Amino acid sequence: MNWHAFVTTFALIFLAEMGDKTQLTAISMVSRTRSPL
């Protein structure tokens, strides 16, 4: 199995499904503080 193709495809689909910058900001804040918003 070609892992590079798998990881690249997964990352592209994940980023495409993420949505807007607000969602990315919320995930970034939660990952830094380790507590839900």
Q: Specify the residue for token string 């193709």.
A: 5
Residue 7 has pLDDT above 80, yes or no: yes
| pLDDT class of 36 with cuts at 50, 70, 90 | low
The C-alpha atoms of residue 2 and residue 32 are separated, in whole angstroms, by: 33
Between 27 and 37, where is the model more confident?
27
Q: Tell me which residue range forms the domain holding 16.
A: 3-33
Tally of domains within the chain:
1
Dihedral (Cα; 4, 10, 15, 19), 10-degree rounding: 170
User: 37: part of which helix (H) or strand (E)?
Assistant: none
Q: Determine if the pTM surpasses 0.85.
A: no
Query: Which residue stretches of 1-37 are H helix?
Result: 3-18, 21-33
The C-alpha atoms of residue 6 and residue 14 are separated, in whole angstroms, by: 12
